[in-house]
Amino acid sequence: MTYCLGIITSTGLVMAADSRTNAGVDYISSYKKLFDFSIAGERALFLCTSGNLAVTQAAITLMARDIKTAAEPNLHSLTNLYDVARYIGSKLRALQLEDREWLEKDKIDCSCNILLGGQICGEEPGLYLIYSQGNFIQASKETPFLQIGETKYGKPILDRILNFDTPLQAAAKCALLSIDSTMKSNISVGPPINLVMYEIDSFKVRYELKLKIGAPYLRKIRTLWEISLNQAFERMPDIDWEHYLELPDERTTED
Amino acid sequence: MTYCLGIITSTGLVMAADSRTNAGVDYISSYKKLFDFSIAGERALFLCTSGNLAVTQAAITLMARDIKTAAEPNLHSLTNLYDVARYIGSKLRALQLEDREWLEKDKIDCSCNILLGGQICGEEPGLYLIYSQGNFIQASKETPFLQIGETKYGKPILDRILNFDTPLQAAAKCALLSIDSTMKSNISVGPPINLVMYEIDSFKVRYELKLKIGAPYLRKIRTLWEISLNQAFERMPDIDWEHYLELPDERTTED
């Protein structure tokens, strides 16, 4: 499994991904799932991938090759994010066309998702979720984050902490906590965690990190978060059972 | 969707369920999913259901009828929880045998799950999760909670707060917060919430409640929890970007 997360705020973008891949519980390995196709001074482009690893690796390879061979269009030549998302979708469609029939013979799921976040000079920053089918949706002020992979465990914290006006450093912290919550509840999501924080109009990757297993910061936030949650829990008022007693006519006993 | 949760601790049991059922987003209704088959002084028996509503309603109806007609075995005559779980499983199997073929013709999912929690006089309390297939697993000291339905959003809080020695009142509070987290992240889980707290060896349902939409206690814990989470988040240390800078050789840019 995988968990990747993109956040867009009024001041920038955060992209984060775990690195665990598994085909069954007995074949677990690490693959980077956050890819940086930025050009300093001109464009910031980050991709996160989830789903069938063969498909996403192939897509990344083909896109990197297009840049290298200057085949048009490519991630470095396209002039706006909408077209970049379309281009990524077209790569996924081409791969499905080639491989799907063979995978389906053995009932192998060839679905995958890609998060695209970035900004191209002269344009607003944007965050997209591209589906297996090649179509996509875009994050908005109302829904400032998009997730792919094992999304549910890490969503409650985002729902409660994040909004479009959250400071960028706080959004990055929130992304790490969201991934940490997921790792705690699902062993198929695991470190290293890759994280990028991009400041709007900087066109430069200034904040980028990789948290390996046992990284002190990761341990620190996990411990602190657990202590804080437990303290918060202690402070919650007890249940007032009398007040909310269920009425007898609503019971469903023996009939 | 549905979210039900059972917790077993050293001092008792907590069973909780939301009440929302949906067949698509345009057909949402409320059904009770927590059923009490206890006999005061002799046995405490609580069932929570998720999955195909037609199947679970039929199972509950058949089990209630067995009690009424004194057909053997039934929920009031079986003398231990293992046999009760087997009996419930047999009802699910009988229904699958009758209905499955017809549901599959229209690709309707007939799967469901049932949580069984309780205690029969002379026996230890127990908590079981019964699968569609009629087999089941049991909660243990190491894994003191079992969930059915939309389980993921509400799991992180359980993973971080609960263990077998958690006081029973705290376990009940934790169950409510787990359901509230799920309601916040998934609109297909919703109130009223039914909650039962059973004290070991009491053979009496002393703590039972129903929290309807807008119940002040529910509003209070949601607000307090959100405030506490945000305060805890504020206290988390900032990311030390310098220290965890990704090494250049690990970057995957353009090749």
pLDDT, one tens digit per residue, over A75-109 is 999 999 999 999 999 999 999 999 999 988 998 88
Cα gap B110→A168, rounded to integer Å: 46
Instruction: Output the average pLDDT for chain A.
Output: 90
**E strands present in B25-183:** 28-30, 34-36, 43-51, 112-120, 126-130, 136-138, 145-149
* Residue ranges of A 48-77 with Cβ closer than 8 A to chain B: 60, 64, 67-68
pLDDT of residue A3: 95
Q: What is the DSSP letter of A189?
A: S
Structure tokens at B103: 């549901």
Sequence-distant (≥ 6) Cβ neighbours of residue B129 within 8 angstroms: B6, B113, B114, B115, B116, B136, B137, B138, B139, B146, B148
Residue B83 to residue B127: CA distance in whole angstroms: 13
Per-residue pLDDT reduced to its tens digit, A2-34: 999 999 999 999 999 998 877 666 666 778 899
| C-beta of residue A172 within 8 angstroms of C-beta of residue A153 | no
Under DSSP, is residue B213 helix (H, G, I), strand (E, B) or coil? coil
Q: What is residue A23's predicted lDDT score, i.e. its pLDDT?
A: 63
Does the residue B102 lie in any domain?
yes
Chain B within 8 Å of A215 (Cβ-Cβ)? yes
Q: How confident is the model at residue A179 (pLDDT cuts 50, 70, 90)?
A: very high
Taking phi over 0 as left and psi of -120 to 50 as alpha, with beta for the rest, B41 belongs to: left
In the predicted model, is pLDDT for residue B94 greater than 60?
yes
Enclosing domain of residue B60? 3-233
Spatial contact of B124 and B206, defined as CB atoms under 8 Å apart? no
Within 8 A of A193 by CB-CB distance, chain B residues are none
Whether A210 is covered by a domain: the verdict is yes
Q: Is residue B100 part of a domain?
A: yes
0.90 surpassed by pTM: no
Domains contained in chain B, number: 1
pLDDT above 70 as % of chain A:
93
Q: Please indicate, yes or no, if residue B38 is contained in any of the structural domains.
A: yes
Tokens of A242: 């009398």
How is residue B42 annotated by DSSP?
T
Instruction: Kindly state whether B249 is in contact with chain A, defined as any CB-CB distance less than 8 angstroms.
Output: no
Average pLDDT of chain B is 90
Structure confidence at residue A251 as a pLDDT band (50, 70, 90): very low
CB contact under 8 A, A159 and B221: no
CA distance A123 to chain B (A): 22
- Of all residues in chain A, the one with the smallest CA distance to B255 is A64
> B233–A64: do the CB atoms touch at under 8 Å?
no
Nearest-CB residue to A155 (from B153, B194, B235): B153
Is the Cβ of A165 closer than 8 Å to some Cβ of chain B?
no
More confident residue, B186 or B59: B59
Sheet of A145-149: strand order equals A145-149, A3-9, A12-17, A193-199, A207-211
From B154, B237, B244, residue closest to A211, measured CB to CB? B244
Asked if B254 is an interface residue toward chain A (Cβ–Cβ < 8 A), one would say yes
CATH number of the domain residue A38 falls in: 3.60.20.10
Would residue A204 count as lying in a domain? yes
In a domain, B198, yes or no: yes
Which residue, among B31, B74, B166, B233, would best test binding to A if mutated, counting the most A CBs under 10 Å from its CB?
Answer: B233
Task: Identify the H or E element spanning A83.
Answer: helix A81-105
- The answer to whether residue B250 sits within a structural domain is no
The alpha carbon of residue B34 is apart from the nearest alpha carbon of chain A, in Å, by 9
- Within-domain flag for A255: no
Confidence class for position A252, pLDDT limits 50, 70, 90: very low
Determine, for residues B67 and A194 on separate chains, whether the beta-carbon distance falls below 8 Å: no
Query: Which amino acid, residue B176?
Result: L
